[in-house]
Amino acid sequence: MTSDRLSHAVEAGMTLPATGRILLLGAPGDLDLRDFPEDRCDVVQGFRPDHDAWAARGLPVSTEAGGDHGAAVVFLPRARDRAEARIAAACAAAPGGLIVVDGQKTDGVESMLRAVKARVPVAGHVSKAHGKCFWFTASDAFADWARGPACNAHGHWTAPGVFSADAPDPGSERLLAALPPKLGGTVADLGAGWGGLASGLLTRDGIRTLHLVEADHAALDCARRNVEDARAVFHWADATRWKPTSPIDTVVMNPPFHQGRRADPAIGQAFITAAAKALKPTGHLWLVANRHLPYESVLESRFRETAEVSGDARFKILHASRPAR
């Protein structure tokens, strides 16, 4: 566990500064801070559930690094470009201070350790619980790792670590092609990402309001740039908990199914449950999923009518209507 590795690092000689603020970048909301001066910690967290968990614990939490800190702790995400951006942000926020990097082997912490060693001396490292924790002094040697939102080759704004950042997702493209001409006046895109699916939806007649619901703040910021349409309403929210102010006609979605590198179909199943709760009694759900994902049973339990309307060896397009109450 992360907290165990951090404790092990302290025992191995990693010393946190006695004064100054400590920045935690990407820290999970349930992190045990037993080895940290909690009253001096600031959190940067763009994933809404973890952001809310830190706020509930009473710690200062924001979506971007800033200020002057004596140390920074980077919690490695799965995406390498986002991990590099976090390390660059940590060095900028704690100039000359202690930088600690913690991560799982499955998230690339060993290759990251090698990459950091190639640029600066590493003061120490420990291994525990299928991961590593290492530390070094902040340096401007990582300035080229600083990355923010940028246009990809297709002209879409994306950001490091955002799903399908290089090009439109083929599953979403298949879903758009399978949708009927009319979707109703009020539509929601759960897990909207950088807005690729929403952009296609807004080319259709009859949509008066499109709700884009996304838990990743960086992705939603890109969606705001990509979807410049007065009918779009943006929600930084956990899609599995989001509730519209009034029931909606249609939900369209390409739900995530990974927790880190581990496939977790329960995430998509929770999206389906949330969609059923958000819809009108006559409402419709359209979704695309990888062929192997077990969504049919939860669809049948949440809706009176379900069907696979299109698909191939890789994807399936599922339609459900009349949510069961």
- Residue 178: which pLDDT band, with cuts at 50, 70 and 90? very high
Domain boundary among 145, 170, 191: 145
Q: How far apart are CA 139 and CA 90, in angstroms?
A: 10
Angle between helices 109-117 and 80-93 (to 10 degrees): 50
CB-facing half-sphere around the CA of 135: CA atoms within 13 A: 21
Q: Are 276 and 324 in contact (CB under 8 A)?
A: yes
Residue 176 shares a structural domain with residue 317: yes
Q: Are strands 131-137 and 124-128 parallel, antiparallel or unpaired?
A: antiparallel
Q: CA torsion sign, 33 to 34 to 35 to 37?
A: positive
137/161 same-domain check: no
Window from 31-40, 123-132, 160-169, 253-262 with minimum mean pLDDT: 253-262
Q: Which of 128, 139, 22 is nearest to 73 (CA)?
A: 22
In tens, the pLDDT along 214-226 reads 999 999 999 999 9
Pick from 269, 285, 263, 287: nearest CA to 174: 287
Residue with tokens 């009918």: 231
User: What value does the mean pLDDT take over residues 175-192?
Assistant: 96
Average pLDDT over residues 83-107: 97
211 burial via Cβ count (<10 Å: 0-12, 13-18, 19+): buried
Do both 156 and 106 map to the same domain?
Answer: no
More confident residue, 110 or 257: 110
Q: Is 31 in the same domain as 118?
A: yes
Are residues 7 and 124 located together in one domain of the fold?
yes
Of 130, 145, 160, which residue sits at a domain end?
145
Expressed as residue numbers, the domain containing 164 is 152-323
The residue out of 96, 124, 145 marking a domain boundary is 145
Residues 162 and 128 in one domain: no
Question: Tell me, what's the pLDDT at 129?
Answer: 85
Question: Do 168 and 110 share a structural domain?
Answer: no
- The per-residue pLDDT for 67 is 83
Provide the number of structural domains found in the chain: 2
Mean pLDDT of the chain: 95
pLDDT digits (tens, 9 = 90+) for 6-31: 999 899 899 999 999 999 999 999 99
Same domain, 283 and 312: yes
Q: Which has the minimum average pLDDT: 92-96, 163-167, 320-324?
A: 163-167
Where residue 243 sits, what CATH number does that domain have? Answer: 3.40.50.150
What would you report as the CA-atom Rg of the chain, rounded to the nearest whole angstrom? 21
95 neighbors 138 (Cβ within 8 angstroms): yes
Burial 282-313 (b: 16+ CB within 10 A, else e): ebbbbbbbeeebebeebbeebbeebeeebeee
Specify whether 84 is located in the same domain as 6.
Answer: yes
- 114 and 228 together in one domain: no
Is the confidence at residue 263, as pLDDT, over 70? no
Same domain, yes or no, for 61 and 173? no
Same domain as 106, residue 163: no
pLDDT at 264 over 80: no
Predicted confidence at residue 3, as pLDDT, reads 80
- Whether the CB-CB separation of 284 and 320 falls below 8 Å is answered with yes
Kindly state the average pLDDT of the residues 86-92.
98
Phi, psi of 107 (to 5 degrees): -100, 10
Find out whether 213 and 275 touch, Cβ atoms under 8 Å: no
User: Is 60 exceeded by the pLDDT of residue 261?
Assistant: no
Distance CA 91, CA 97 (A): 8
Contact between residue 321 and residue 304 where contact means Cβ atoms under 8 Å apart? yes
